[in-house]
Structure 1
């Protein structure tokens, strides 16, 4: 540990009037190990300012003095989410705990309405903030994401980027985590408000059923990835990237790539994603070919077709592209869900870091 870090921790301990038997080392490791996820290091506030001085007003003022740009509501999110971590950690000293509880008590009494960081911002639904619903998963912070972890609770600021063994971004895991954060009401409304017909595809054992359009899924995935990957980890998320291409007829044609993911400071895209919604085999084949037109202009490490579907057999009997297209790097994932988006299942075919083809059939994602 550096001299400056040592002095900072010593100063913090003194300011908090810790008893001889008190220990905040595990808690400090939990938070310090995740400090990189905070924009421009605003969590430094909790190390440099005595806890008796902590308040949302002081934190806002401190942030304004120390950082050039402040995202709307960012200070509020960081300040209170960090307090919940202190509150829920069993090794938090009594001195810190009393200060934290007092601040949260005042916050609850004030009844201030806020929007949770990854709540349904698309519908701009305000929620009454309360004290008890927040839960933390501090034990999961140091390691990679394992299984499903909610982004919409107190640990939302700390959800790690899932990585493969070689250190590359695991796009499929990102999709699985993000889809668990879709607003169920928004997807459910798609079947009655932003819908199309399933035509001959069988949905709930019937044909010509109203199902959500592609734009419903597109908007939700873009919302979650921006709140998670861009605002927290600095990734670039681009939706509907406008491209131009000279066609066989000699004219310019407009192309729109659904979504791209790019690491900060990386020369190439991590992934290029093309979406479909309850699509027929002919439509899938069309997009299997279409996506390679984007690759000519957008250099991406991975290419993914992401198919959201209500078709009954889409994950139990999934349709894959030709071996030729798979050899060219095309990865495909099908997500099936019920009308209320309470049950989500997945099948996928992709290449792993060794180049080996992997296949997942009918995996439960959300239930």
Structure 2
């Protein structure tokens, strides 16, 4: 196995490394380990499966000095973190695509597009382990159970025949990363209405020119508007990332040759002196330009404190990646993102921070936008749809009033029922009194 592969790609394959491959990787890191340290790894047969579970104490128990043991424990933590992020991301496949399109080959293709080269054994393990989870889940739908049963049956049959090797993903032709087929008619409503284009992910010969500003630089806000039109229903933050990545890859990369990178791994020593691993959501880069066009940080229904944290965090990414533009892209179903959007301080805006808030309904049929950004003259501009904001408030109040009227009607009905019960009880009580009086009179006589 080559040791020249980047760590971001190799980390997903590390589980299959033998001891020598692991040692070669650690040697390439230049963290001042010597042959005595490597001899201990060889003696104890520490390979890619064992290494992520090693700790400083275990290394020292094997005879390693304290310094190297600390360094190796830090690298083991990085391996665990990367493996967890990678596997979690791959499992998103089963939520992004309808069960009718699930297949091992489709999973490998999608995983390769999203995370880089995916090894056969790892893809096989993640795919079928997830199917077993669905099989044993009583809450899964009957349709999912049927699809899972058929996929596992095919696996069993192919195993009896002798499993064919999976496609060589290093030579895999690029596929369109598709979203589930939907009959929804999405629309983007903002202060500058835009005609709905055909789905970029489905029809690549559609008009899909890159929007440009007056100075011929790409218009990131217009790109975001266009991308969001093609989103499907997105219930989780990780799915916003995946949807944005899917559209940008199918549009900017596969039609225009741009480089789209998701979850860019950065390393930095922060203010507290500790070493941190940071992950930038998305970057856009022209193929012949050494610098990034834009860096995108995506958030879902973030609180003010979380927004403030990311307003600051994104500048740490900027220090290392040097993009032309930095954007916070915030998605939420809460009305306030357009009626009363939260913006960064003027100081951060002057440093180049651009922010766009997207409101959408539950089914992603309606989307509205508020943005604050720098134009080509380096002046701050705003796009806030006051009319639609008012409509949202009115619509929300109408819904609340309808719910209150419904509750009031239910209370009135309950009150009427209680009154009827009370009347019956009073009648029974009166009847009991009459019976008592009659019995009393009869005894006296």
- TM score, norm. by length of structure 1: 0.53
Could you give the per-residue CA deviations for residues 251-276 of structure 1, whole angstroms, max 9, x where no partner exists? 21000001000011101100001111
Q: Note the residue ranges of structure 2 that are not aligned, 5 or more in a row.
A: 1-170, 184-193, 389-445
Query: Structure 1 residues 328, 179: CA separation in 2 closer, same or farther (over 3 Å shift)?
Result: same
Contact 2:204 2:255 in 1 (8 A): no
Partner residue, 1:180: 229
Q: How does 1:147-296 map to 2 (within 5 A)?
A: 147-152=195-200, 154=203, 156-184=205-233, 187=234, 190=235, 213-296=236-319
Instruction: Name the structure with the higher helix share.
Output: 2
8 Å Cα contact 2:358-2:369 kept in structure 1: yes
Displacement after TM superposition at 1:154 (Å) = 4.3
Q: What secondary structure is seen at the aligned counterpart in 2 of 1:260? A: strand
Name 1:13's counterpart in structure 2: none
Equivalent positions of 1:131-150 (< 5 A) are 147-150=195-198
Determine if contact 2:358/2:367 at 8 Å carries over to the other structure.
yes
- Partners of 1:168 and 1:359 in 2: how far apart? 19
Asked if 1 retains the 8 angstrom alpha-carbon contact of 2:292 and 2:321, the reply is yes
The alpha-carbon distance between structure 1 residues 71 and 232, as it changes in their structure 2 partners (threshold 3 A), is: farther
Q: Does the 8 Å contact 1:258/1:273 carry over to 2?
A: yes
CA distance in 2, matches of 1:239, 1:119: 17
Where does structure 1 lack aligned partners over 5 or more consecutive residues?
1-68, 74-116, 128-145, 191-212
Distance 1:215 1:126 in 2: 20
Q: Aligned with 1:314: secondary structure?
A: helix
User: TM-score under structure 2 normalisation?
Assistant: 0.44
More strand, by proportion: 1
* Structure 1 stretches of at least 4 aligned residues deviating more than 6 Å after TM superposition: none
Question: Once the 2 structures are TM-superposed, how far is the Cα of residue 218 of structure 1 from its aligned partner?
Answer: 0.5
Give RMSD over aligned pairs. 2.7
Q: How many residues align?
A: 209
CA, structure 1 residues 314+156, in 2 after alignment: closer, same or farther (shift >3 Å)? Answer: farther
Structure 2 distance, partners of 1:309, 1:362, is 16
Counterparts of 1:350 and 1:272, CA distance in 2: 14
- Structure 1, residues 150-174: CA drift from partner, whole Å, max 9, x if none? 2346464541000001100000000
Cα distance between partner residues in 1 of 2:182 and 2:274: 48
